[in-house]
Chain A
Amino acid sequence: MLTVIVAAVSISLLYFVFPELTEAQTEKTFVTHSGAIIKTTGDIIDPVYLPQTVEFDPQKYLREFSYGHISTLDDGRTLREFTIIAEDDKIMEISPGVFYNVWTFNGTVPGPTIRATEGDLVRIHFINNGKRSHTMHFHGIHQANMDGVFESVGPGGKFTYEWDAIPVGVHPYHCHVMPLEEHIAHGLYGVYIVDPKEGRPKADEMVMVLNGFDTDFDTENNFYAANSIPFYYQHHPIQINTNELVRIYVVNMLEFDPINNFHLHGNLYYYYPTGTDTVPFTFTDMITLSQSERGIMEFEYTYPGKYLFHAHKVEFSEKGWVGIFLAKNSDDKVE
């Protein structure tokens, strides 16, 4: 009996004296904001560089436009049909290790970027697969009963929205069921672009929805981002070419914080508020956006390299709303 106890005690003592014998210790390293390299035997918690399951790919979303199912009407006009499905039970890893219940149009936050040309007939087949009532409310000019406010679509319900694509510009769409703040904060929004008939100059076009997530429901955002995933474009810089026009359709869908802004490094941009005019309103590196304010930014880089873009409200940028443009020499480009 005594020997058993002695043996047990000495084995457990060994464990305390030489814990590294019983537990394989691997050291990991990470880089701090100020460039210091830190070693740890534990886990790294870093929203910028940790891998995460990205069900929603901001890199893909950035340049993806949905033109709909196209057909021609009897009067020669173009009909664009879209099918949009709303869901509200999806759990998404919005930042490494952080899981949040997102409400989605076609499975993503933001929803698909719907694009039409001025004067087209747009028809949206809306299906609500959620547990709550939802609608689609598009900014723009349309009939009262196509506004997606009073025609609440219950769970399992359907609705067809139809209108002429006017006016030219970049507009948001979102769910308009009360409590509105809840439906928007959970992710039911997207971008709707109406191109002018004559088109815009050729450019590298992208969409940026400035948004945030209040993951602990204290009416303050825990994360901010351009296109949902915090720090994503910092970790995965957006590749552009020098001397090539870049056009960004930027829409501010941030809830809770009254204003947002967009600052570009090493350059200035022409800004077209709401995108309704073809003459730029200003040439700047800083615009301020209130709720659902949006516009079009156009710029091109002369010098190659990495350029930051971010909210100049540092709280937003240090909680995710920051990214990098990687401008590459476009020597090989055929003029």
Chain B
Amino acid sequence: MEVKNTSKVKLVASGIIPFAFLVIMIAYIFGPGSDLIDLGVSLPEITIEKVEFLDSEIVVTVRNTGPMAVDVVMADVNDRIHPAAIEPDKHLERFETAVVRIPFLWNVAEPYLIGITTDDGTRFEKEVEAAAPSLEPNLELAGFFAIIGTYVGIIPVMIGLLWLPFIRRISKSKYHFFLALTAGLLLFLGIDATEEALEVSQDTLADSFNGVLLVATVVLLSFLALYYAGERLVQNSSLGRMTKPVAVALMVSIGIGLHNFGEGLAIGAAIGLGQVALSTFLIVGFAIHNTTEGIAIASPLAKGKQMIRLLAGLGILAGAPAIFGAWVGGFVYSPFTAIIFLSIGAGAIFQVIVILIRWLQDEGDKKLSSTAVVSGLAIGMLVMYLTSILI
């Protein structure tokens, strides 16, 4: 008993000692009186995160993304100094945000360059391609976004599901083709979502957030979480009411749903930023593109018993997030949340791909080199690429 106790103490101690040394080292470096790392020049940095155009006022959200506190002391529009107000106050601690209100009679659809100057005289600027009144959340607009989300998300997925009777009647190898096709479609969507997240992080996120690593971390965490949950779901499916195909289809739906949330974000943000022509293209493009997602959900279900209600439920699960995405994108867009959602979607999709590939292996195609699987994957990617050109 005593022996056991000492070994436990030793275990805890051996776990804590390196940690204690780390704390001592950090205290030594940063502690009072330490001039060890007083090297180099640190520069203030602020990031203009958002520019909104209200009634005769331009509202700019700034964040201190530098290594030290700064004062925001001046605002300009198109390189012309304007009196402005900053709320709550002009002093920004690290990572603190403030809102700069610049009274300005702006013109719709004209480009504007917004400049913010800090106390050391450094000017940071952000270009807005075309000014458009920022969206005020109201019921009418929420309804409008809901309709767009339905067109983009729910209806195309439902149309895609109508291929189910066709997939049911085909032979096993052709069925494998469709499962591989699904994997191909999803692979494309996963890459697409990752790319989009990286793009947003590059364009709008401050360097201090380490955009690329943020995307990588969230993608992986999302993948692992859903993988863990998915495995449990599939393992238990034989016991419960849920069959394995249904479980897989459910996961496909969740993955696609998260992906469609990202699409909704893109559409809402495009309308919010006043890129109306772009959003029309986005809507048409996404609608065609998303029809293929219906196939992805239908394929795993093809050999089982079908229930209309189940199918409809899966379709809504996959499609409806587009509506929420449009709301978020249009009303409360922030680059940080957009990146998080896009990355979660990518991780979810990669997880579904792994499940599908496993399934194909279990179904007898051990090496994944049959004509059906290879051509399915290839055509899936190709179809997605071709329809994506429409966006």
Contact residues of A with B, CB < 8 Å? Answer: 28, 30-34, 36, 38, 40-49, 94-100, 213, 215-216, 222, 230, 314-315, 318-320
Residues A42 and B121 in contact in the complex (CB < 8 Å), given A36-B56, A315-B80: no
Interface pick from B99-107, B202-210, B366-374: B99-107
**Are B121's CB and A30's CB within 8 A?**
no
Residues A30 and B117 in contact in the complex (CB < 8 Å), given A42-B89, A42-B98, A97-B71: no
Q: Which residue of A lies closest to B73 (CB)?
A: A97
Instruction: Name which of A48, A98, A320 has the most chain B CB atoms within 10 A of its CB.
Output: A98
A94 to B74, CA, bound (A): 12
Q: Which residue of B lies closest to A44 (CB)?
A: B85
B249 at the A/B interface (Cβ < 8 Å)? no
B136 at the A/B interface (Cβ < 8 Å)? no
Q: What B residues does A31 contact at CB under 8 A?
A: 83
The A-contacting residues of B in range 59-102, CB under 8 angstroms, are 71-76, 79-90, 98-101
Q: What A residues does B85 contact at CB under 8 A?
A: 28, 30, 38, 40, 42-45
**Are A319's CB and B101's CB within 8 A?**
no
Q: What A residues does B123 contact at CB under 8 A?
A: 215-216, 222
Top 4 A-B residue pairs of the complex, sorted by shortest distance between their CB atoms: A215-B121, A97-B73, A42-B87, A40-B85
Q: What B residues does A46 contact at CB under 8 A?
A: 83-84
**Are B121's CB and A32's CB within 8 A?**
no
Q: What B residues does A33 contact at CB under 8 A?
A: 82-83
Could you tell me the distance in whole angstroms from the C-beta of A202 to the nearest C-beta in chain B?
A: 38
A28 to B86, CA, bound (A): 11
A230 to B76, CA, bound (A): 14
Q: What B residues does A95 contact at CB under 8 A?
A: 73-74
Q: What B residues does A320 contact at CB under 8 A?
A: 81
Write the B4-23 contact mask toward A (1 if CB under 8 angstroms, else 0): 00000000000000000000
The 25 listed contacts between A and B (C-beta, < 8 Å) are A31-B83, A32-B103, A34-B105, A36-B56, A36-B103, A42-B85, A42-B88, A43-B90, A44-B86, A45-B72, A45-B74, A46-B84, A48-B83, A95-B73, A96-B74, A97-B71, A97-B119, A98-B74, A98-B117, A98-B119, A98-B120, A99-B120, A100-B121, A222-B121, A319-B76
B173 at the A/B interface (Cβ < 8 Å)? no
A48 to B83, CA, bound (A): 8
A213 to B121, CA, bound (A): 9
